[in-house]
Amino acid sequence: MKITFCGTGAGASYVADRGGSSVMIEVNGDAMLVDCGPGAVRRIYKAGVEFGAIKVILITHLHYDHAVGLPELFNRFGRMGNDPPRILGPAGIADYIESCKRLITVSTSQGLPPQLQALHGEQIVPGQVYEVGDFTADAIEVPHGPDIQALSWRVRAEGSTVVVSGDLKTDEEFMVPFASDADLLIHEAYSHEGLEALFATLPTDYARESARQYFEPTHSEVSVVAEIAETADVKRLALTHLVPGEQEDVLVRTAQDHFSGEAFIAEPGHSLEIA
């Protein structure tokens, strides 16, 4: 199983070339994409993966930094004549995919390519197991925000397990059993130092306080993430969804204070093999 980080930034941090959230998992020539934020398509191309090799797309939630790359991806399928992938996601995924198709339709005088007519999103049932080719995946609903359903995904193939957290306020009650014995846990994380650096760039006290009130209740602090990885007996921990101004050494050092396995930054474009 090969893992490629196609985007590892939070929100507008894709301007720093981290890209929006996206992870590609490859097995036996087929690929699965988990989220497709801005910049993901470019890194998929640079990784040498044929777009037609993507058999399934899993979406954690529909915030723009996790899903806005989908129309560009579909446009690639349309121009190359490939069969579209299966798309699994949270509430709203069906409407979102139809909106992507309408966007492609109005952006070209030729209309929607015929092979994209059947493209559709499937709202998943948390806890149900989905099988596509050599991949098996299931998801749990996780707390992220009051206005959106968010999922964490667990993917299995060739005897290996990868868990992708998506965005959430994590908690050991649900994440420890879900990530138990995973070969790789890809989990969003922030440090207090990173958040303070981000807030310091905002122009007013009101903006800083508003950002704090939004971010801290909906995202995961790195020491909590690392303790979950330790309790769940995870082998490796990839820290992702980095905020602008995050100090990577602080993030990794804090994680290693609480996790005895390997903890590292999910760098955009980086690939690793899981046996």
Q: What is the pLDDT of residues 168-188, one digit of tens each?
A: 999 999 999 999 999 999 999
* Rounded alpha-carbon distances, angstroms, from residue 92 to 71, 131, 219: 16, 21, 21
User: pLDDT tens for residues 11-24?
Assistant: 765 556 788 999 99
CA distance 103 to 82: 19
Whether 30 contacts 133, CB under 8 Å: yes
Total domains present in the chain: 1
User: pLDDT tens for residues 85-111?
Assistant: 999 999 999 999 999 999 888 877 677
SS (H, E, C) the chain: CEEEEEECECHHHHHHCCCCCEEEEEECCEEEEECCCCCHHHHHHHCCCCHHHEEEEECCCCCHHHHCCHHHHHHHHHHHCCCCCEEEECCCHHHHHHHHHHHHHHCCCCCCCHHHCCCCEEECCCCCCEEECCEEEEEEEEEEECCEEEEEEEEEECCEEEEECCCCCCCHHHHHHHHCCCCEEEEECECHHHHHHHHHCCCCHHHHHHHHHHHCCCCCEHHHHHHHHHHCCCCEEEEECECCCCCHHHHHHHHHCCCCCEEEECCCCCEEECC
CA distance 243 to 232: 25
Those residues with Cβ within 8 angstroms of residue 242's Cβ, 6 or more apart along the chain or in another chain: 8, 9, 10, 13, 18, 190, 194, 248, 251, 265
Environment class of residue 266 by beta-carbon count within 10 Å: exposed (0-12), middle (13-18) or buried (19+)? buried
CA distance 244 to 16: 8
Q: Which two tokens stand for residue 152?
A: 């964490």
Q: Which candidate, 48, 54, 52, places its Cα nearest to that of 36?
A: 54
* Percent of the chain surpassing pLDDT 70: 96
Q: Looking at this protein, which amino acid is placed at residue 20?
A: G
Give the CATH number, domain containing residue 30: 3.60.15.10
Please, what is the angle between helix 222-231 and helix 248-256, to 10°?
Answer: 40
Which pLDDT score is estimated for 140? Answer: 98
Which pLDDT score is estimated for 118? Answer: 85
**Domain of 17?**
2-273
Which parts of the chain register pLDDT below 50?
none
Which pLDDT score is estimated for 79? Answer: 65
Going by DSSP bridges, is the β-strand pair 135-145/148-157 parallel, antiparallel, or unpaired?
antiparallel
Q: Which two tokens stand for residue 180?
A: 């138990």
Which pLDDT score is estimated for 80? Answer: 65
Which pLDDT score is estimated for 26? Answer: 96
